[in-house]
């Protein structure tokens, strides 16, 4: 039997983290536009295959890979299913299952994530294709008058329903209630981020309890507690680490095996630096790791430029970021290591 608890532990293995390679077709097009590469089924496949074949990074520092539905069923150029490349590297294949955040009726800011209808049947299909964990992202915006209780309740309830369906299907749910850092307001101080994140996580674990979720068979993917990008205020690495850990200790039961942070718009190095500080400064009941998309891939994408002759350089760039984040999960990242590379 593949126990949910064992999969969750493998996903949060020491010194490793989760690669989010589940960009929707729209998002990956934007990423490809930035390097002047046309987004086609083949170019998307080539790009992701390149990452999954970056042996040094994948085998040593990546414990799981979140895939977009298209990628779960794709084969590499030589005919090998991409899922097999991930397994061969010792990582767990996973799948993004939500259908995106849609505006809530009567709001111009707040969204609720859709995708519950038909999810039970889709999960059976994903399991057969090799996925052993799933991801669902809810988005909570901070403005002068949001989030509303209605938005927090709708999103945390949907996440709990999704998590229950996953566990029923033998799939570990990544529960991702993201408090965005890009609010339009000066209202978005680090204190305000703390307040909202604490509220969202408290509500989330109440909903998970009501839905009968096995906490040992899930992974939490939260935001870090940071000031909003447009707030004009900065916070030290120590303050981000202190407030984030304090918030998690107040809200997340110790039976949850791991917490894999999203990078959420932080720079590559900030995301690494903050994670490393938390692991270095605190003794924690759960494994604190990463589930980064852009923060792991940005350097590789820039090096690749869609050209075959750049594949090795792009793989080195990816493996470097993966290694830096792997060190951060052990509190051992140092700025000098970035310069040395």
Contact at 8 Å (CB) between 103 and 139? no
Question: DSSP string covering 208-268, please?
Answer: HHHTT--GGG-EE-PPP----TTS-----HHHHHHHHHHHHHHHS-TTS-EEEE--TT--H
DSSP 8-state assignment for residue 310: G
CA–CA distance, 230 with 35 (Å, rounded to integer)? 26
What is residue 130's DSSP assignment? T
Any catalytic annotation for residue 221?
yes
How is residue 81 annotated by DSSP? B
How far is the C-alpha of 338 from the C-alpha of 35, rounded, in Å?
23
Catalytic residue among 96, 135, 221, 243: 221
Q: Is the dihedral of CA 9, 132, 25, 307 positive or negative?
A: positive
Do 174 and 66 form a contact (C-beta atoms < 8 A)?
A: yes
Q: What tokens does 259 get?
A: 């917490």
What is the C-alpha R_g of the chain? 19
Q: Quick one: CA torsion of 233, 268, 20, 175, rounded to 10 degrees?
A: -30
Residue among 23, 69, 110, 176 flagged as catalytic: 176
Q: Is-catalytic flag, 307?
A: no
Q: Let me know: does 120 contact 97? Beta carbons within 8 Å.
A: no
Catalytic positions: 176, 221
């Amino acid at each position: 039997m593949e126990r949910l608890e064992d999969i969750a532990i493998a996903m949060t293995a020491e010194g490793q983290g989760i690669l989010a390679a589940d960009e929707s077709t729209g998002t990956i097009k934007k990423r490809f536009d930035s390097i002047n590469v046309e987004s086609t089924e083949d170019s998307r496949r080539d790009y992701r295959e390149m990452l999954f074949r970056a042996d040094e990074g994948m085998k040593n520092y990546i414990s799981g890979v979140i895939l977009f539905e298209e990628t779960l069923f794709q084969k590499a150029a030589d005919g090998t299913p991409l899922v097999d490349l991930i397994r061969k590297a010792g990582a767990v294949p996973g799948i993004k299952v939500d259908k995106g955040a849609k505006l809530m009726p009567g709001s111009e800011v707040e969204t609720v994530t859709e995708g519950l209808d038909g999810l039970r049947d889709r999960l059976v299909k994903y399991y057969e294709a090799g996925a052993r964990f799933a991801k669902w992202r809810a988005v909570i915006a901070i403005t002068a008058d949001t989030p509303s209780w209605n938005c927090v309740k709708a999103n945390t309830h949907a996440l709990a329903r999704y998590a229950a369906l996953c566990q029923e299907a033998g799939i570990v749910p990544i529960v991702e209630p993201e408090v965005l850092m890009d609010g339009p307001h000066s209202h978005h101080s680090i204190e305000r981020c703390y307040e909202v994140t604490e509220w969202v996580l408290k509500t989330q674990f109440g909903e998970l309890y009501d839905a009968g979720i096995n906490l040992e068979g899930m992974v939490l993917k939260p935001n870090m507690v940071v000031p909003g990008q447009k707030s004009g205020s900065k916070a030290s690495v120590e303050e981000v680490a202190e407030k984030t850990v304090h918030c998690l200790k107040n809200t997340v039961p110790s039976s949850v095996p791991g917490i894999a942070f999203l990078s959420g718009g932080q720079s590559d190095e900030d995301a690494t630096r903050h994670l490393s500080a938390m692991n270095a400064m605190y003794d924690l009941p759960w494994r604190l790791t990463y589930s980064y998309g852009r923060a792991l891939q940005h350097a590789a994408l820039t090096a690749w430029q869609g050209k075959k002759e750049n594949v090795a350089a792009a793989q080195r760039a990816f493996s470097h970021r993966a290694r830096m984040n792997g060190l951060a999960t052990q509190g051992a990242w140092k700025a000098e290591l970035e310069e040395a590379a």
